[in-house]
Structure 1
Amino acid sequence: MFLKGKRALITGSTSGIGLAIARALSAEGADIVLNGFGDADEIAKLCDEMGATHSGANLLKTDEIETMMAENGPVDILVNNAGMQHVAPVEEFPVDKFEMIIALNLVAAFHTTRLAVPGMKEKGWGRIINTASAHSKQASPFKSAYVASKHGIDGFTKTIALELAQSGVTANCISPGYVWTPLVENQIPDTMKARNMTEEEVKNDILLAKQPTKKFVQVEEVGALAAFLCREEAGNITGTNYSIDGGWTAE
């Protein structure tokens, strides 16, 4: 329980990767602040499970981010995980979607970070962990907004790490490849039908085409890496972008 007495705020943590990170940090004793949308009863169950609190702040609105950080701070651990995706050729990419993806995936992380850093510096200890993506290192067609935002979060993280290098605060990225989540699982039947493929063909030839291991990343693996980065033994790891992508970015 090496995080006992530490407060961790994880954005986009009512499901998927964010929830797994919240559970991993909770298991090590951290006081958890969840953030995200979803069924109110399900969120209440998650709060009961972890003894957590929940903020429904809309991260596209600066004033709501500021309220969330003020009401739940100071935080010792900040995990910027919330994100969204849209796929379209650049000339057809909806302008509002592009701006929304940049705002949620990148700008929101700037706001939470700028508000968390003063308290961390005052304590002389802090952990900032940003969920990036294999797309923070490599591009794919038709994902201009997502790739731009994830390249941006990588550069932002490195900059913050340098600024805070002597403060006791670290800043790192975790870059998953394709992660096995309900969102991915639910896409498989439609893809099978659209492409006239079997389930295994969809998994191996479409979803895992770029992951040499041909294995989905598990959310618990991402959670375990986040927890490790919060250890005292990780105090000299900063400005790093950790791949957890089955070898995708090794090529």
Structure 2
Amino acid sequence: MRGLKGKVAVVTGAAGGIGSAICRRFLEEEVRIVAIDLNADSLKQLAAGLGAGEDRLLCVTTDISDYARVKDAVERGVAKFGKLDILVNNAGWDVASPFLKTEPDLWEKIIDVNLRGPLNLHKAALPHLIAAGGGKVVNVASDAGRVGSSGEAVYSACKGGLISFSKTIARECARDNIRVNVVCPGPTDTALLRSFAGEGEFGQKIYEGLKRSIPLKRLGQPDDMPGLIAFLSSDDANYMTGQVISVSGGLTMNG
């Protein structure tokens, strides 16, 4: 992709399935990465698996729902690499259950990770992107935020909120040469989906039902996402902002 070499990116949820795939693609494009995740052991495994030293990959264990910790993580990255060009809000978490069977303490945790976390990252990172003369933000939402998803009411609300927030920031920050776009994965074979579907025969039936409903007849894989995210982070997408793009194998066609 044009213009990625030498850039610096913050990636949240970096040690998860999609996050690690994003980091791998960015390293291939010679992007330096501030990898943020809540799980320190998983970050160590990420660094070992990618074979990247701290000159290319800075791993920071951070709770993204805590603004002070997020601000410190971003500033550590800027101090290490000298600037910030790209923000990828990828972290996500949910527990599948019908809304009336959930309680407010669960709502708060879902909101913390999926909505408050990205707000914190924008607040901490945008001044550095502006100071660098402009940059790219890619927010990983979900098709659940576009069309809803049974058993994921609060998660869907958060992802829908992130989509609307992204469009607003795209408008507010266009004058600062900031582009903000949203990637919405459909059903993707990650730990989150496996926890949603469950194990055993019941879980397998859900998996097979999902695959039958997708025109391309398979679940998304983590490696299906980084190409689009790299594109939206590159100079090839300089005339795109405020866009919401589904990666769902055709399940949620729109246009």
TM-score of the pair, normalised by structure 2: 0.87
Deviates more, 1:43-52 or 1:183-192: 183-192
Structure 1 residue 171 displacement after superposition: 0.4
Q: Which amino acid aligns with 1:212?
A: P
The 2-side partners of 1:55 and 1:144 are apart by 30
Identity over the aligned pairs, expressed in percent? 30
The 2-side partners of 1:211 and 1:184 are apart by 15
For residues 176-225 of structure 1, the C-alpha deviation after alignment (integer angstroms, 9 at most, x for no partner) is 11112355468878241x47xxx5x54321x3354232211122220000
SS at match of 1:246: coil
Aligned to 1:23: 24
The 1-side partners of 2:85 and 2:98 are apart by 40
TM-score of the pair, normalised by structure 1: 0.89
Which of 110, 125, 140 pairs up with 1:101? 110
Aligned to 2:208: 204
The 1-side partners of 2:113 and 2:206 are apart by 29
Give the alignment's Cα RMSD to 1 decimal: 2.2
| Cα pair 1:134 1:248 within 8 Å, conserved | no
For residues 157-181 of structure 1, the C-alpha deviation after alignment (integer angstroms, 9 at most, x for no partner) is 1001011123221001100111123
How many correspondences in the alignment? 245
Structure 1 gap ranges (5+) = none
The 2-side partners of 1:169 and 1:144 are apart by 31
Structure 1 residue 27 displacement after superposition: 0.9
SS at match of 1:82: coil
**Structure 1 consecutive aligned stretches of length 4 or more whose deviation exceeds 6 Å:** 186-189
Matched, 1:66 2:90: no
| Cα pair 1:177 1:211 within 8 Å, conserved | no
SS at match of 2:149: coil
For residues 101-139 of structure 1, the C-alpha deviation after alignment (integer angstroms, 9 at most, x for no partner) is 111111111111122111212222201001111112111
Which of 188, 213, 229 pairs up with 2:216? 213
For residues 81-106 of structure 1, the C-alpha deviation after alignment (integer angstroms, 9 at most, x for no partner) is 11101222222212111111111111
The 2-side partners of 1:158 and 1:80 are apart by 14
The 2-side partners of 1:88 and 1:183 are apart by 13
Aligned to 2:225: 222
| Cα pair 2:9 2:34 within 8 Å, conserved | yes
